[in-house]
């Protein structure tokens, strides 16, 4: 896969690099030349795959995240099936929060549900700092996977402070984030204390994954699009910056993603990401204009397009690959996660198409 390079950076080094750090995915994140546009899918490890449903049949979601053998198998399933350019660790954004002492569950069809929502300073204190020992199962799963994946990079991830705070304050998923915003506007000190603690937990969780060998990390701020840019900058950006800048010396690309973030793309890039995830509402070239030339972009096929007839999907994939050429670096992905009803064979076809239409021959440079 990496043998057909554009012939510049890879061959100029004194010795040819190989392994996940020289994979098309990591190279695109670093805005280096690539043999083809790399592609992976958010939520690729999950319910669209029958082999996933089978393995999860009698195991709860959080329990499965704590079993390294299951984590490794579920993480590998989409790599084997689709030939994606990266694996993403099977886990969930609330795993480190549970490890930090919050009583919660992940309810099928609903999402994370918190037994006692966080509303006071005492509640914030209940969220303790975490270290390796608290998430040893994640460390073990990453080690197993890195050994198994060879040249295919493994992406680690965590939830960003705002999105985590929303689940903790609301007690579960919310459309309006009303209680979260009430705390933000009404008790800003408490809000900042909560987000600062969540940033510490998130940073520790990502460090464990990086130390165990992941090749990149993605910070999911899925619900940040609920905020105006001014509120994002005041109430959220400092905390996401604490996480991403805390990893500046870690040597792996950092991806920062949210949904409905057209107005926030510039600010999200400023938080310290190397790559900014873009949903389907903003064309990639427009996104790059907002983010600036020193960051790559990731995205942005509307996940519901995968339910359209193939010629529609093909046209959209071609459009996005072409727009990605006008960015400093492009990782193909969906604009949000794979929907459970998606036909996995369509995902496999999309991977092949992205590779085919983006393949660069060596002499093209």
> Residues interacting with ligand CP3, by CB under 6 A?
42-47, 56, 61, 88, 90, 92-93, 106, 108-112, 157, 163, 220, 222, 337
Q: Which is nearer to ligand CP3, 82 or 295 (CB)?
A: 82
Strand partners for 275: 255, 296
Total residues belonging to the chain: 365
Does 131 qualify as catalytic in the annotation? no
Alpha carbon 81 to chain centroid distance?
A: 20
Strand partners for 301: 334
Identify the active-site residue in 43, 132, 233, 318. 43
Does 56 qualify as catalytic in the annotation? yes
Alpha carbon 285 to chain centroid distance?
A: 21
Does 92 qualify as catalytic in the annotation? yes
- Closest separation in Å from C-beta 171 to ligand CP3: 13
- Closest separation in Å from C-beta 21 to ligand CP3: 21
Identify the active-site residue in 56, 254, 290, 295. 56
DSSP letter for each residue of 66-95: T-HHHHHHHHHHHHHHH--S-EE-S--TTH
User: CA neighbours within 13 Å on the CB side: how many for 166?
Assistant: 23
Interacting residues of 22 by C-beta distance below 8 A, sequence separation 6+: 2, 10
Does 290 qualify as catalytic in the annotation? no
Identify the active-site residue in 47, 81, 126, 318. 47
Q: Which is nearer to ligand CP3, 64 or 358 (CB)?
A: 64
Residue with tokens 């005492």: 122
Environment class of 355 (CB within 10 Å of its CB; exposed 0-12, middle 13-18, buried 19+): buried
- Closest separation in Å from C-beta 121 to ligand CP3: 26
- Closest separation in Å from C-beta 33 to ligand CP3: 27
H-assigned helices in the chain: 9-12, 24-29, 50-55, 61-65, 68-82, 95-99, 121-125, 136-149, 161-170, 178-186, 188-212, 229-231, 237-245, 265-270, 284-291, 310-325, 344-358
- Closest separation in Å from C-beta 165 to ligand CP3: 12
Closest CA to 332 of 9, 122, 17, 24: 24
Identify the active-site residue in 31, 167, 290, 295. 167
Does 103 qualify as catalytic in the annotation? no
**CA 62 vs CA 137, 223, 336: distances in Å:** 12, 21, 22
The widest CA-to-CA distance across the chain, in whole angstroms, is 63
Catalytic amino acids? 43, 47, 56, 92, 167
């Amino acid at each position: 896969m990496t043998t057909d390079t554009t012939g510049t950076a890879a061959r100029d080094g004194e010795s040819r690099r190989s392994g996940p750090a020289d994979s098309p995915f990591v190279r695109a994140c670093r805005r280096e030349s690539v043999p083809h546009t790399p592609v992976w899918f958010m939520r690729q490890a999950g319910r669209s795959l029958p082999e996933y449903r089978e393995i999860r049949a009698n195991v709860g979601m959080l329990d499965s995240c704590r079993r390294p053998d299951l984590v490794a198998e579920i993480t590998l399933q989409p790599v084997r099936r689709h030939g994606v350019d990266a694996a993403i660790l099977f886990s969930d954004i609330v795993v480190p929060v549970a490890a930090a002492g919050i009583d919660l569950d992940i309810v099928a069809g609903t999402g994370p549900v918190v037994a006692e929502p966080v509303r006071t300073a005492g509640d914030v204190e209940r969220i303790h700092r975490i270290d390796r020992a608290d998430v040893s199962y994640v460390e073990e799963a990453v080690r197993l996977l890195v050994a198994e994946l060879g040249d295919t990079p493994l992406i680690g991830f965590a939830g960003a402070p705002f999105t985590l705070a929303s689940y903790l304050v609301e007690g579960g998923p919310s459309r309006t984030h009303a209680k979260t915003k009430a705390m933000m506007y009404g008790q800003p000190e408490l809000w900042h204390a909560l987000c600062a603690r969540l940033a510490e937990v998130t940073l520790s969780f990502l460090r464990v994954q990086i130390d165990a060998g992941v090749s990149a990390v993605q910070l999911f701020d899925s619900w940040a699009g609920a905020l105006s840019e001014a509120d994002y900058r005041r109430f959220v950006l400092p905390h996401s910056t604490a996480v991403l800048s805390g990893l500046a010396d870690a040597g792996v690309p950092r991806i920062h993603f949210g949904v409905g973030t057209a107005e926030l793309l510039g600010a999200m890039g400023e938080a310290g990401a190397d790559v900014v995830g873009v949903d389907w509402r903003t064309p990639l070239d427009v996104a790059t204009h907002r983010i600036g030339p020193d960051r790559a972009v990731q995205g942005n096929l509307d996940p519901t397009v995968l339910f359209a007839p193939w010629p529609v999907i093909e046209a959209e994939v071609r459009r996005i690959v072409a727009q990605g050429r006008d960015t400093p670096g492009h990782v193909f992905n969906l604009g949000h996660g794979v929907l459970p009803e998606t036909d996995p064979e369509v995902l496999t076809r999309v991977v092949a198409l992205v590779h085919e239409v983006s393949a660069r021959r060596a002499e093209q440079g």
